[in-house]
């Protein structure tokens, strides 16, 4: 019998302690081109739609960038940190611009 109990799906990260190594996270098998394409499409739709709905889409992208920045911060060099913070700031500025116009 399993100690997980009935109805609990088995995932590779349940009960795992410590840091993950590069290439073993939940998105490790997703092609980078697919992720890039999704980000470009969401950004383009957000800018084209504009207004509050567009700002919400860009806000979701900003949250994703912020989460990735926070999780990778210890491994980034200062120059890489600066570029990623600038990308986040530009994304937030564009989202605010959509709301305020």
State the CB neighbour count (10 A cutoff) for residue 68.
Answer: 13
- Distance, in Å, from the CA atom of 66 to the CA atom of 85, rounded to the nearest integer, reads 8
pTM, to two decimals: 0.72
CA torsion angle 57 62 65 67 (round to 10): -100
With a CB cutoff of 8 Å and minimum separation 6, the contacts of 88 are: 62, 65, 66, 69
pLDDT at 20: 58
CB-count burial class (<10 Å; 0-12, 13-18, 19+) for 84: middle
pLDDT, the chain, mean:
84
User: For residue 15, what pLDDT band results from cuts at 50, 70 and 90?
Assistant: low
User: For residue 5, what pLDDT band results from cuts at 50, 70 and 90?
Assistant: low
Local structure of residue 6 (DSSP, 8 states): T
Taking residues 42-47, report their average pLDDT: 96
Say yes or no to pLDDT of 42 above 80: yes
């Amino acid at each position: 019998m399993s100690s997980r109990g009935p109805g609990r799906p088995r995932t590779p990260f349940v009960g795992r302690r410590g840091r993950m190594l590069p290439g073993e996270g939940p998105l490790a098998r997703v092609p980078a081109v697919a992720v890039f394409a999704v980000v470009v499409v969401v950004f383009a739709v957000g800018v084209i739609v504009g207004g509050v709905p567009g700002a919400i889409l860009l806000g979701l992208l900003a949250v994703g960038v912020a989460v990735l920045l926070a999780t990778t911060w210890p491994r980034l060099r200062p120059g890489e940190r600066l570029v990623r913070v600038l990308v986040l700031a530009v994304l937030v500025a564009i989202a605010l611009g959509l709301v305020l116009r």
